[in-house]
Amino acid sequence: MADDEIVEESGQAKGGRKKTIVVVAALLAAEAVALSAAFMMFASEPQVARAGIDDLSAEELELERIVEMEVLDEKLPNAKRGVTYLYDTRLYVQVKQRNAERMTRELEQFSNEIKAEVSGIWRTSDPRVFAEPRLETLQRKLEAMFRERLGTNPETGLPIVEKVVVVLGPGFRIDN
């Protein structure tokens, strides 16, 4: 009689485990369906913010046009490694037409100060940066200098200087 009771209890335990597994699986499936339905109900289609060129007037288009302004046309030295090289350098900044007047005023008012800052960057730069194919390091340094100096346009919140373009001739060794 005791053996029959043990067999019945073990049979109920096996059947109870199967029922528990089935109930848990059903609950997980129901939860997955409920979450999916909630996401579909509350999630909307992505909104595409589009400010296209078609939406701008002719005057606004003219203000958005990029203008290139010459900042410097000099021969700048670099003697960082003990040997002095002289580089024929032309430096341009690209600004939007809306910022061109401010940039012109800044260049006229502080031309010598700007030249001194550029010369400082030039003199302290490692000679390897002058060998870069696109002069990325010099451009980054100069862009940072101009953006710090000019800040942002209060109307748009964007930097005044869009890009700095460095045109660099070959360096000539000038000391023996």
163 to each of 70, 92, 144, how far by Cα in Å? Answer: 12, 9, 10
pLDDT digits (tens, 9 = 90+) for 25-47: 999 899 988 888 887 777 766 55
Q: Which residues, in sequence order, are bridge partners of residue 108?
A: none
Domain of residue 116 covers: 63-173
Cβ partners under 8 Å of residue 21, min gap 6: none
Residue 8 lies inside a defined structural domain of this protein: no
Q: Check residue 176 and give its pLDDT.
A: 61
Domain count, the chain: 1
Q: Check residue 47 and give its pLDDT.
A: 57
pLDDT digits (tens, 9 = 90+) for 67-114: 999 999 999 998 888 888 899 999 999 999 988 998 999 999 999 999
CB 124 within 8 A of CB 81: no
pLDDT bin (cut points 50, 70, 90) of residue 50 is low
72 to each of 10, 32, 94, 128, how far by Cα in Å? Answer: 93, 65, 13, 22
Residue 54 lies inside a defined structural domain of this protein: no
Q: Check residue 89 and give its pLDDT.
A: 92
pLDDT bin (cut points 50, 70, 90) of residue 15 is low
Residue 55: is its pLDDT beyond 90?
A: no
Token pair 């000099």 is at which residue? 74
Residue 39 lies inside a defined structural domain of this protein: no
Domain of residue 109, CATH code: 3.30.479
pLDDT digits (tens, 9 = 90+) for 107-158: 999 999 999 999 999 999 998 999 889 999 999 999 999 999 888 888 888 8
H/E segment holding residue 138: helix 136-150
Residue 32 lies inside a defined structural domain of this protein: no
Residue 170: is its pLDDT beyond 90?
A: no
What is the token pair recorded at 63?
Answer: 């203000």
Residue 23: is its pLDDT beyond 70?
A: yes
Residue 88 lies inside a defined structural domain of this protein: yes
Q: In whole angstroms, what separates CA 17 from the centre of its chain?
A: 57
Residue 20 lies inside a defined structural domain of this protein: no
Note the helical H segments in 43-161. 58-64, 97-109, 111-124, 136-150
CB 78 within 8 A of CB 168: no
